[in-house]
């Protein structure tokens, strides 16, 4: 009885030898290889303020990038053809957009340095751990602060703030500030209207 119990405890559920060896199409692998070289040779060495140059290459690979806007040279975009970003938005230094699924970013939104947008995971309830490509939607007027993690399938409402190093695994409503791990609403976002301030200002470094 004791030996049988030990065997049950040591049974391994997930079987990595059953996972798909090549989960993407051949076309995606080819495009990804080409993009990796472009990102290495054309994006990373580009001057900090050469935002239009980086947007040009992203668009060549299928990204929907509205101008003006900005993507820093050290930001890493996995699949450009699954990225959409609105006007006056900024993706900061060291940001990883792990967009196995689509990532959509609204207007006037900032994704600060070292944030991680993770639009891909695995189904841990299945032994073969199949790939799951869930989208991320970030609204307009949002601030994702430094080193925050945004998980697969998450939607962040307009005008919300995600605190530094927060871990967001559930939807965030509009107009709130969230923080912590897991992220929780800590207050509503104060939004005083400043008369005479233009709503359209080009982000620094574009």
Among all residues, which ones are annotated catalytic? 122
Q: Where are the beta strands (DSSP E) in 10-134?
A: 64-65, 70-71, 76-77, 83-85, 90-91, 96-98, 103-105, 110-111, 116-118, 121-122, 131-132
Radius of gyration of the chain, Cα coordinates, nearest whole angstrom: 20
Smallest Cα–Cα separation from 133: which of 101, 99, 98, 102?
101
d(CA 64, CA 89): 12
Q: How remote is the C-alpha of 9 from its chain's centroid?
A: 37
Q: Is 122:134 a contact under the CB 8 Å cutoff? A: no
d(CA 19, CA 40): 30
Q: Is 71:58 a contact under the CB 8 Å cutoff? A: yes
């Amino acid at each position: 009885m004791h030996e049988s119990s030990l065997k049950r405890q040591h049974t391994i559920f997930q079987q990595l030898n059953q996972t798909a060896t090549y989960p993407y199409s051949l076309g995606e692998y080819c495009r990804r290889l080409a993009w990796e070289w472009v990102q290495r040779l054309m994006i990373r060495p580009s001057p900090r303020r050469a935002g239009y140059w980086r947007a040009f290459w992203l668009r060549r690979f299928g990204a929907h990038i509205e101008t003006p806007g900005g993507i820093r040279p050290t930001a890493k975009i996995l699949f450009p053809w699954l990225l959409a970003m609105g006007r006056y938005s900024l993706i900061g230094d060291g940001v990883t957009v792990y967009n196995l699924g689509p990532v959509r970013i609204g207007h006037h939104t900032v994704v600060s340095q070292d944030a991680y947008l993770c639009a891909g995971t695995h189904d841990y309830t299945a032994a073969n751990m199949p790939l799951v490509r869930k989208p991320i939607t970030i609204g307009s007027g949002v601030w994702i602060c430094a080193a925050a993690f945004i998980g697969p399938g998450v939607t962040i409402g307009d005008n919300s703030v995600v605190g530094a190093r927060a871990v967001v695994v559930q939807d965030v409503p509009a107009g709130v500030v969230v923080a912590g791990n897991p992220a929780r609403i800590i207050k509503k976002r104060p939004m005083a209207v400043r008369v005479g301030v233009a709503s359209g200002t080009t982000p620094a470094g574009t």
